[in-house]
A and B are shown apart, each in its own frame.
Chain A
C-alpha cells in the first residue's frame, strides 16, 4: 500500500476523481395536498480519469450523466460522496476547480444570440480571466481550431447548429483549461459537422487535455475514448476500454439477417436455438433485420435460414460485437 505522501501525490496528479457520488432531487406533486418525493439521480458513482485521458460516460437519457458532470463542474452540490478535479475539491475549492475546467454542452443554448460570435468569446474571455494581452491571439487561434475564421463577426442568431456547437467548443477552451467536460456535444449535428467535431475533440487529446465526454453515439465513443463507463439508473454498471466492454458481451458473435415480412412467431422460435443468446428485430423500412447474439465459434446460419422457411431473405452477415451491442446489453440487462 502507498504511504501517506504517495497517496497525496496520487490525488494531485489524477485529473478527475469521483468517490461514491450521490445526488438526490426533491420533487413535489399535487396542488392542494402536496406530496414530496426524493428521487436519487446518481447513486454512488465512482471513477478516476488520468491526465490526458479521454473518458466516456455513456448511458440512456435520465441515467445520471449530466447530473454527474454538473457535480464535477461545481454547478451542483453532491448529496454525499466526494469529487476532485486536479486535486481540488469540487465543494470546498470551487474557484480553483473553475479556473482549470472547461464545460461545453450540446444544443442551441448557452450563447448570446444577439451578439456576434466574437463578442460572445470576448465576454466569456473576460469572465474566465483570460489575460487581456493574450485574448486577441487566443480567440484567433480558437476560431481557427473550430473552423470559424471569417464568420466571427456575424450574430449568433444566424448561425447553424453546427456553428453554434463549434463556437461552444471555442468558448469552453478560451482559458486553456486542463480538463474539458463535453456533455453530448454532437447532439443534433449533421454527419459532416459531427465528423468535424470529432476531429476537434481528437485534437484536444493531442494537446494533452483531459476530456470527459458523454454521448449517445457509440461509434463516437469508440473512436475517441480511451476508457468508458456505462451508467444506468444512477449507477455505473461497467467500466473499461472500448475493447474490454466489447469482449464483455456474453455472446461472442452477431448474426444479422435481412428479412421481408418475418412473422413474430418465427422470431420467437429463433431463441430456441441452443447457440442463440438473444434475438432482436430492427425495422428498416420494408426490411426487418434479425439481430441474433450467438455463442462464439457457433455456426447457426443454416439453422436460422431453415427456421425462416418461406420468408424472403436478403443479406446475411456475421460480425464481431460492437460497442453498441455491449452498451445495449448493459443498459437493458
Chain B
C-alpha cells in the first residue's frame, strides 16, 4: 500500500469518525441519556455497596461502574445503530460503497465508544461528589492507558456485534441482551472469583475484563502491562474476526436480502 493510499484511508477513517460522532452528539436528548443512564447504574451499584461501609469495596465498584457506561453505550448502540441505518435506508449505500465495509464500521463503533469514554469521566466525578469515592491512583498514565484500552477493545467488540447486526435484522436484541450479563462477566461490579467457575472462561475471553483489571492494577501501583497485553490481543482478535465475518456475513446478507427492509 502506498503512502497516498494509507493517508487516504486514515483521512476516511478520521472524517467518518468525526461525522458519526456529530450524528451521535447532535441530539441533546440522546447525549443526555448517554450520560445519565451510566450515572443511574453507578448510583444503584454504589448504594448497594454503601450498606457495608467498606471503602475499598466502594472504590472497586466505583471504578467498574465507570466502565459499565462504555460497555452499555457500545454493546447496545452498536446493534441498534446499524438497524437504524437499515431503517434510514443508508445501510445499503454503505454496503454498496467501494470502501471495505469494516472500514465503514470502525469509525461508527469508535464514535460510540467515545461517547462511552465521556461517561467514564463523568461517572468518576459523580462517584466522588455524591458518594465520596476517592479515586486513588498510583500511576495516572498507566491508568489512562487502561481506560483507553477498555474503550478501544469495547469498540472492537461493538464492531464484532455490528457485523452480525448487518446480517440479521433482529440482531439488535443481541446487543440489548448482553448489557447486564456483561457487567457481571467482565467483573465491573463483582469480582470474577465470585462467579461460578463454569463462567470464568467466558469472562477471560472478554477484553474489558482485562482492561478493568489493568485499570485496577495501575491504580494500586502494580504493573498493568500483562493485563493490557492480553486486553489488546483479545481486542485485535475481535477486529480480525469481525473483518473475516464481515465479508462472509455481507455475502450472506446479499444472498438472503436482509440489507433493506423491503
Q: A: which residues have CB within 8 A of B?
A: 25, 73-77, 95, 98-99, 103, 105, 107, 109-115, 119, 122-124, 126-129, 131-132, 171
Give Cα A112 to B20, complex, Å. Answer: 10
Are A110 and B93 interface neighbours, CB within 8 A?
Answer: yes
Complex Cα gap A129–B5 (Å): 10
Beyond A119-B19, A126-B16, is A111–B90 a contact (Cβ under 8 Å)?
yes
CB of B163 within 8 Å of the partner chain:
no
- Asked if A113 and B88 make an inter-chain contact with CB atoms under 8 angstroms apart, the answer reads yes
Q: Is the Cβ of A115 less than 8 Å from the Cβ of B90? A: no
Specify which of B12, B89, B251, B254 is in contact with A126 (CB 8 Å cutoff): B12
Contacting A77 at CB < 8 Å: which of B8, B97, B104, B255? Answer: B255
- Flag whether B99 is at the interface (Cβ < 8 A): yes
Chain B stretch 79-114: residues in CB contact (< 8 A) with chain A: 87-90, 92-99, 104
Taking A25-B257, A74-B254 as contacts, is the C-beta distance between A114 and B23 under 8 angstroms?
yes
**B200 proximal to A (CB < 8 A):** no
Beta-carbon contact of A109 and B16 below 8 Å = no
Option from B89, B97, B257 in Cβ contact (under 8 Å) with A128: B97
Is A98 a contact of B90 with CB atoms below 8 Å?
no
The reply to whether A122 and B97 form a contact with Cβ atoms under 8 Å apart is no
Q: Is the CB of B98 within 8 A of A98?
A: yes
Determine if B22 and A115 form an interchain contact, defined as CB atoms under 8 angstroms apart. yes
Contact partner, B88, options A75, A110, A124, Cβ 8 Å: A110
Quick check: is B15 within 8 A (CB to CB) of the other chain?
yes
Asked whether, in the complex, the Cβ of B19 is within 8 Å of the Cβ of A110, the reply is no
B256 to chain A, nearest CB (A): 8
| 5 extra interface residue pairs, beta carbon distance < 8 Å, beyond A74-B254, A114-B27, A124-B93 | A74-B96, A98-B96, A111-B90, A119-B19, A127-B12
Asked whether B23 lies within 8 Å of A112 as measured between CB atoms, the reply is yes
Nearest 4 CB-CB pairings of A with B: A109-B89, A127-B97, A110-B89, A98-B98
Q: Find chain B residues with CB under 8 A from A112 CB.
A: 19, 23, 88, 90
Question: Known: A77-B255, A109-B88, A112-B88. Contact between A98 and B97, CB under 8 A?
Answer: yes
Q: Does B65 contact A (CB under 8 A)?
A: no
**Interface residue from A74, A76, A124, A132 paired with B11 (Cβ < 8 Å):** A132
Asked if B255 and A103 sit within 8 Å, CB to CB, the answer is: no
Inter-chain contact B90/A126, CB cutoff 8 Å: no
17 A–B contacts, CB within 8 A, in A order: A75-B92, A76-B254, A77-B254, A98-B98, A103-B96, A105-B89, A107-B89, A110-B88, A110-B92, A111-B89, A112-B90, A114-B27, A115-B19, A126-B11, A127-B99, A129-B8, A132-B8
- Which residues on B sit within 8 Å (CB–CB) of A110? 88-90, 92-93
Nearest A residue (CB) for B20: A123
Complex partner residue of A127 from B104, B254, B255, CB under 8 angstroms: B104
B155 within 8 A of A: no
Complex formed: what's the CA distance from A131 to B11 in Å? 11
* Chain A hits for B94, CB < 8 A: 127
Q: Which of A75, A109, A110, A119 has the most CB of B within 10 A?
A: A75
The answer on a CB contact under 8 Å between B88 and A126 is no
A123 touches B96 (CB 8 A): no
Q: How far is the CA of A223 from the CA of B22 in the complex (A)?
A: 42
- Kindly list chain A residues whose C-beta atoms are within 8 Å of the C-beta of B193: none
With both chains docked as a complex, state the minimum distance between the C-beta of A105 and any C-beta of chain B, in angstroms.
7
Chain B min CB distance to A181 (Å): 10
Q: Report the bound CA distance from A132 to B11 in whole Å.
A: 9
Residue in A closest to B93 when the chains form the complex, CB atoms: A110
- Is A75 a contact partner of B22 (Cβ separation < 8 A)? no
Q: State whether A75 touches B95 (Cβ < 8 A).
A: yes
Kindly state whether residue B198 has any CB partner on chain A within 8 Å.
no
**A-side contacts of B42, CB under 8 Å:** none
B27's closest neighbor in chain A, by CB?
A114
Q: Does any Cβ of A come within 8 Å of B58's Cβ? A: no
Whether B251 contacts A128 by the Cβ 8 Å rule is no
On chain B, the residues within 8 Å of A109 by CB distance are 87-90
Rounded to whole angstroms, the CA-CA distance of A119 and B16 in the bound complex is 10
B259 in the interface (beta carbon within 8 A) = yes
List residues of chain B with CB within 8 A of the CB of A123. 15-16, 19
CB contacts (< 8 Å) of B89 on chain A: these are 105, 107, 109-111
Q: Which residues of B contact A74 (CB under 8 A)?
A: 96, 254
